[in-house]
Structures are given as C-alpha cells and as structure tokens.
Amino acid sequence: MYKIAQVDPVKCSATSCRLCTLFCPEPNTLFYDERRHTAFVAIDRCKGCAACVRICTDVAKRDCIKMIPVEAALGGFEMSRYGLPGRAQ
Ligand code: SF4
Ligand code: SF4
C-alpha cells in the first residue's frame, strides 16, 4: 500500500508555523497556502518518506500531518485544485 502525507488544515491553520515546508526533500511537494493559512501536500509528488510527519509531530509539537493510503486522500490532487502558491488561478 502506497502512503502519502496529508495535512489537517484546521489544526495547521491554528499556528501556521510553516516548519514542515522547510524539510520536505522533494521539490514542489509540500507547500504553504497563504489563502487557507495551512500547509498542503501535492499528493501526486509526495514520495511517502514521512519526514514532514516527524517535523510536525516531534519538532513543531503540532501533530497535523498523517500518512494515509493514497486511495484515501481527501480532496483529490491539491495541485490540481489550488495550483502552485502565488500563481494566478
Ligand atoms: S509543521 Fe505542522 S503546524 Fe507547522 S505548517 Fe507544517 S503541518 Fe502546519
Ligand atoms: S511524506 Fe516526505 S515527500 Fe511527502 S510531503 Fe512529507 S516530507 Fe514531502
């Protein structure tokens, strides 16, 4: 089963620390959405390493990111829905 990271936007937006976005080893995968005030994952690019989960849980002490089966990803492909940050929709 292939797992990808998914951010809980309600929990994340309570602090919006952005820490996880600094540590994802994959380019253009873990973003911060200024409009929704939350980090989000481009699930079509996530490699499932779970580094962001450790950062959010162990360093930021927020526990906003879970690894979930790719089939269970809510909201579909974030990149398709929201595009790259700063790009006109
Ligand atoms: S580390 Fe956690 S709280 Fe901070 S931006 Fe990432 S998901 Fe949100
Ligand atoms: S699981 Fe790894 S590749 Fe996927 S968003 Fe988190 S840090 Fe990036």
**pLDDT digit string (tens) for 76-85?**
555 555 555 5
At residue 87 the predicted structure's pLDDT band, cuts being 50, 70 and 90, is very low
By the 8 A CB rule, do 78 and 41 touch?
Answer: yes
Residue 88 lies in a domain: no
- The confidence band for 12, taking pLDDT boundaries of 50, 70 and 90, is very high
What's the CA-to-centroid distance between 5 and ligand 2, angstroms? Answer: 6
Q: How many domains does the chain have?
A: 1
- The secondary structure element, H or E, covering residue 52 is helix 51-54
Q: Is residue 87 part of a domain?
A: no
Full domain range(s) for residue 41: 3-82
CA of 21 relative to ligand 2 center, distance in Å: 9
- Tell whether 48 is covered by a domain: yes
Could you give the angle at the alpha carbon of 63 between the alpha carbons of 57 and 67, nearest 5°? Answer: 90
Domain with 38 in it: what CATH number? 3.30.70.20
Query: Looking at the DSSP assignment, which residues form a beta bridge with residue 67?
Result: 5
Residue 39 DSSP SS3: strand
Say whether pLDDT at 89 is over 50.
no
The encoded tokens of residue 65 equal: 């990111």
Round to whole Å and give the CA distance between 50 and 5: 7
